C-alpha cells in the first residue's frame, strides 16, 4: 500500500491492487478498493484481513463469522487502530428476521472514576491531552473480545476459537510492513519508546521497521490461542486480565527508553473487578427515514446514530437534488453544525431515551432547519436547540469540537443477506502506547473521549467522567434499507469526523447520485460546529470558492478525512464492495464470486 494524494476519482484503482500476507494461504488474489460480484463481500482497510474474511465466507461461514475473523486479523495487521485492548460497536442485520441489532462493546471507566479524573490535583487544571493519553488513567475496560464472543455465539455459525486461528497464523508468520504501518509507528515513536514491550514489537533496533520487512506478533498469536483454548475469561477473569490491570496500575516504563517523553507517565485505577464486572450492552439501534430509505445506526454511548439521523432529517427538509451541488454541500455543512451543537449539548452515555428519540424526529429537524438560510452560512458555533421550545429558538450555549485519527471499520455481507457493520478502536493511533508485556496488544486510551471539564457551562455536560461510565463516541456503523431490503452498509474511523464522513458518503450516493466507489473517493469536508471547516485540499479547491461566497469559512486543510468501508446491495443478490482508493494507504474490498 502506498500513501497517495487524495483524488476524487476511482480510475486509479487498478494501480492500487495490494496482495494480502503470503502467510495467509487463502489470500493469493490481489485486492483493490472496489469489487463487484456475488456470494458474499468483505471490505476492510487491510488486504490480509479482507482475505481472511473472504476465506471464512468461501468455507460456508456467515457474515458474523467472517467479520470476527477479519477483526481478529486487524488486531495483528492494524494494531494501532483496534484490537482486544479496546472497544467498539457492532451492528448486525439478520436477513431471516429482517432485524437490525447492535452490540455496545464500548470501554467503560473504572468503578472509582470521578468527574475530576483528568484534572491534575497538583494545580487543579486539566492534563495535557498527551499526558492523559499515555498513562493508566486513559484506559477503559476493554469490550472488544466480549463483543466477538457474543456476536459469534448469538449470530455466528462457528466457534470463536476457530475464528481466531487465521489471525494467529498471520501473527506467527507475519505480514509485509507498508508505508502506513511504518508511518503510524514513526508518529508514535517517542511514546512507544517509553515501554519495553512496545519497543520490542514496533521499534526493532530502536527505529520503526522498514517498509517491506515482515512484521510478526507471536505474543498476540499465543494470546489468541490461549483464548481459543480457555475462553474469553482469560481476559475478563484470568491471567491476561491480571496483566492488563498490572500494566494500568504500574505502567511498565522502560529504564532504557528510546527518545524522551515530555510528561510523567501516571498510573490508572482499573481493577480486576472492573474487568470481571464488564458487561456488553445490546441497545436498540437508532432508526430514522431519509426519503425512501430507513437508516439504522448506533445508539449511545455513541453519538453517531443520533447525529447522522438528525443531520439527514435536516437535509430532507431542503429539497436537495443532483443538479445543485453547491446547495447540497451548503446544507450538508449547516446540518452537520446544527447536529453537532445538539450532540455536544445533549448526547452522552446516560441521555434519557426520550431525548434521543426527540433528536431524530422530523419535527425536531424542522425546528433546527428553519435557521438555515439558502444564501448565507450561519455563524459558527451555532447554539444547540431548545428541547422545550417549539419555534425556531435556539438555546444559549455552544460546544466543542473534537477529532481523533485512529480506529478501523469493516463491512461484511454473506450470501444469505446478513450484514455486519463494525467500527472498533483503541482511540488514538497507538492507543495509550503500552503493549501489555508478553501479550502482544496495545491498551486503549478511550477514556480521553470524555470531556475533561464542562464544555457546556452553565448547562450540564453529558460527557463528563463518572463511575463505570462509557465515554461518548462518534463511531457510526450504519445500515440502510430500501423497501425493507438491504441497500447500503457503511462506516469509517476518524474521531468526531466519522459522523460527517458517513453523512457525506450518504449525501454523495443518495442525493448527488454518485456510484458508491465515487461517493467514497470524493473529496471530504467536515463542519463540526466550529468557525473553520476542516477540508481535504481537493475539496477546498473544487468547492471552496462557491461555499466561501455563501459565507462558509475554511480552517487549515487536513491531508485526509476517514478511511471508510462500505457495501452496496444490488438487484439479484449482488454486491458492490468498496474501500478507500487512496486514504490511509488504500483499503481492500473483495467478493466471493467476482463478476
Ligand atoms: N475514540 C473515537 C470515538 O469513539 C474514535 C477515534 C477515531 O476514530 O479516531 O469516537
Output the DSSP codes for 348-379.
Answer: STT--HHHHHHHTSHHHHHHHHTT-BTTBPPP
At 399 the pLDDT is 53
Nearest to 560 by CA among 544, 542, 540, 530: 540
Distance 218 CA to ligand 1 centre (A): 27
Distance 331 CA to ligand 1 centre (A): 25
Q: Is 565 in the pocket of ligand 1 (CB under 6 A)?
A: no
Residue 471 CA: nearest ligand 1 atom is 4
Q: How many CB atoms lie within 10 A of CB 153?
A: 11
Pocket test for ligand 1, best of 300, 349, 449, 469 (most atoms within 8 A of CB): 449
Cβ distance 444 to 225 under 8 Å? no
| Helical (H) or strand (E) element with 576 | strand 574-579
CATH of domain 286-403+472-570: 1.10.246.130
Distance 510 CA to ligand 1 centre (A): 25
At 471 the pLDDT is 98
Whole-model pTM? 0.95
To which residue does cell 453519538 refer?
303
373 contact partners, CB below 8 Å, separation of at least 6: none
Cβ distance 192 to 203 under 8 Å? yes
| Helical (H) or strand (E) element with 144 | helix 144-155
Which backbone phi and psi does 402 adopt, to 5 degrees?
-130, 155
At 13 the pLDDT is 35
At 14 the pLDDT is 35
Q: Is 303 in the pocket of ligand 1 (CB under 6 A)?
A: no
pLDDT in tens, the chain (595 residues): 222 222 223 333 333 456 676 555 455 567 999 999 999 999 999 999 999 999 999 999 999 999 999 999 999 999 999 999 999 999 999 999 999 999 999 999 999 999 999 999 999 999 999 999 999 999 999 999 999 999 999 999 999 999 999 999 999 999 999 999 999 999 999 999 999 999 999 999 999 999 999 999 999 999 999 999 999 999 999 999 999 999 999 999 999 999 999 999 999 999 999 999 999 999 999 999 999 999 999 999 999 999 999 999 999 999 999 999 999 999 999 999 999 999 999 999 999 999 999 999 999 999 999 999 999 999 999 999 999 988 886 655 555 555 455 689 999 999 999 999 999 999 999 999 999 999 999 999 999 999 999 999 899 999 999 999 999 999 999 999 999 999 999 999 999 999 999 999 999 999 999 999 999 999 999 999 999 999 999 999 999 999 999 999 999 999 999 999 999 999 889 999 999 999 999 999 999 999 8
At 287 the pLDDT is 97
**Hey, which bits of 242-379 come out as E strands?**
286-290, 293-297
Q: Is 495 in the pocket of ligand 1 (CB under 6 A)?
A: yes
Residue 403 CA: nearest ligand 1 atom is 9
Q: Is 425 in the pocket of ligand 1 (CB under 6 A)?
A: yes
Question: CB burial class (10 A; 0-12, 13-18, 19+) of residue 404?
Answer: buried
Q: Is 404 in the pocket of ligand 1 (CB under 6 A)?
A: yes
At 16 the pLDDT is 47
Q: Is 474 in the pocket of ligand 1 (CB under 6 A)?
A: yes
Q: Is 518 in the pocket of ligand 1 (CB under 6 A)?
A: no
At 18 the pLDDT is 62
At 389 the pLDDT is 86
- In the set 407, 408, 478, 501, the catalytic residue is 407
At 6 the pLDDT is 28
Cβ distance 477 to 304 under 8 Å? yes
At 5 the pLDDT is 27
Cβ distance 334 to 381 under 8 Å? no
Distance 450 CA to ligand 1 centre (A): 11
- Greatest pairwise CA separation for the chain in angstroms: 65
At 405 the pLDDT is 54
At 397 the pLDDT is 53
Distance 127 CA to ligand 1 centre (A): 19
At 15 the pLDDT is 36
Residue 475 CA: nearest ligand 1 atom is 10
Is residue 408 part of the annotated active site? The answer reads no
Amino acid at each position: 500500500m502506498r500513501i497517495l494524494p487524495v483524488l476524487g476519482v476511482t480510475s486509479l484503482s487498478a494501480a492500487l491492487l495490494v496482495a494480502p500476507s503470503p502467510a495467509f494461504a487463502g489470500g493469493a488474489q490481489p485486492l483493490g478498493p472496489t469489487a463487484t460480484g456475488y456470494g458474499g463481500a468483505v471490505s476492510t482497510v487491510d488486504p490480509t484481513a479482507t482475505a481472511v474474511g473472504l476465506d471464512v465466507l468461501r468455507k460456508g461461514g456467515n457474515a458474523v463469522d467472517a467479520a470476527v475473523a477479519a477483526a481478529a486479523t486487524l488486531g495483528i495487521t492494524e494494531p494501532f487502530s483496534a484490537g482486544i485492548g479496546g472497544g467498539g460497536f457492532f451492528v448486525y442485520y439478520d436477513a431471516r428476521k429482517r432485524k437490525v441489532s447492535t452490540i455496545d462493546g464500548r470501554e467503560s471507566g473504572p468503578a472509582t472514576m470521578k468527574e475530576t479524573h483528568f484534572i491534575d490535583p497538583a494545580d487543579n487544571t486539566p492534563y495535557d491531552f498527551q499526558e492523559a493519553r499515555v498513562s493508566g488513567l486513559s484506559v477503559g475496560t476493554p469490550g472488544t473480545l466480549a463483543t466477538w464472543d457474543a456476536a459469534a455465539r448469538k449470530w455466528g455459525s462457528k466457534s470463536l476459537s476457530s475464528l481466531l486461528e487465521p489471525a494467529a497464523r498471520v501473527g506467527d508468520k507475519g505480514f509485509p510492513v507498508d508505508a502506513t504501518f511504518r508511518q503510524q509507528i514513526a508518529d508514535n515513536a517517542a511514546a512507544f519508546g517509553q515501554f519495553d514491550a512496545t519497543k520490542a514489537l514496533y521499534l526493532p533496533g530502536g527505529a520503526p521497521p522498514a517498509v517491506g520487512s515482515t512484521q510478526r506478533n507471536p505474543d498476540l498469536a499465543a494470546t489468541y490461542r490461549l483464548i481459543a483454548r480457555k475462553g474469553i475469561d482469560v481476559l475478563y477473569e484470568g491471567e491476561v486480565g491480571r496483566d492488563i490491570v498490572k500494566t494500568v496500575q504500574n505502567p511498565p516504563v522502560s529504564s532504557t527508553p528510546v527518545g524522551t517523553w515530555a510528561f510523567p507517565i501516571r498510573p490508572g485505577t482499573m481493577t480486576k473487578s472492573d474487568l470481571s464486572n464488564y458487561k456488553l450492552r445490546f441497545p436498540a439501534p437508532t432508526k430514522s427515514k431519509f426519503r425512501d430509505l430507513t437508516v439504522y445506526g448506533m445508539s449511545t454511548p455513541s453519538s453517531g446514530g443520533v447525529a447522522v439521523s438528525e443531520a439527514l432529517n435536516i437535509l430532507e427538509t431542503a429539497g436537495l437534488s443532483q443538479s445543485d451541488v453547491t446547495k447540497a454541500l451548503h446544507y450538508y455543512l449547516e446540518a452537520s453544525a446544527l447536529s453537532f451543537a445538539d450532540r455536544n449539548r445533549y448526547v452522552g452515555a446516560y441521555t434519557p431515551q426520550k431525548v434521543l428519540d426527540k433528536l431524530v424526529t422530523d419535527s425536531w429537524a424542522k425546528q433546527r432547519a428553519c435557521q438555515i438560510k439558502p444564501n448565507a452560512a450561519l455563524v459558527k458555533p451555532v447554539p444547540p436547540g431548545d428541547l422545550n421550545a417549539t419555534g425556531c429558538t435556539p438555546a444559549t450555549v455552544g460546544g466543542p469540537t473534537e477529532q481523533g485519527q485512529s480506529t478501523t471499520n469493516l463491512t461484511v455481507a454473506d450470501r444469505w443477506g446478513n450484514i455486519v457493520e463494525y467500527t472498533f478502536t483503541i482511540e488514538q493511533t497507538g492507543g495509550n502506547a503500552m503493549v501489555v508485556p508478553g501479550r502482544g496488544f496495545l491498551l486503549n486510551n478511550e477514556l480521553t473521549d470524555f470531556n475533561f471539564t464542562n464544555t457546556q457551562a452553565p448547562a450540564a455536560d453529558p460527557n463528563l467522567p463518572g463511575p463505570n461510565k462509557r465515554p461518548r463516541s462518534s463511531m457510526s456503523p450504519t445500515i440502510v434499507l430500501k423497501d425493507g431490503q438491504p441497500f447500503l452498509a457503511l462506516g469509517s474511523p476518524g474521531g468526531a469526523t466519522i459522523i460527517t464522513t458517513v453523512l457525506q458518503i450518504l449525501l454523495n450516493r443518495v442525493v448527488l447520485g454518485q456510484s458508491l466507489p465515487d461517493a467514497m473517493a470524493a473529496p471530504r469536508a467536515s463542519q463540526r460546529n466550529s468557525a473553520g471547516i476542516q477540508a481535504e485540499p481537493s475539496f477546498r479547491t473544487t468547492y471552496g470558492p462557491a461555499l466561501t461566497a455563501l459565507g462558509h469559512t475554511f480552517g487549515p486543510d487536513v491531508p485526509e478525512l476517514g478511511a471508510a468501508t462500505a457495501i452496496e446491495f444490488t438487484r439479484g443478490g449482488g454486491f458492490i464492495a468498496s474501500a478507500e482508493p487512496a486514504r490511509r494507504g488504500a483499503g481492500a474490498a473483495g467478493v466471493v464470486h467476482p463478476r
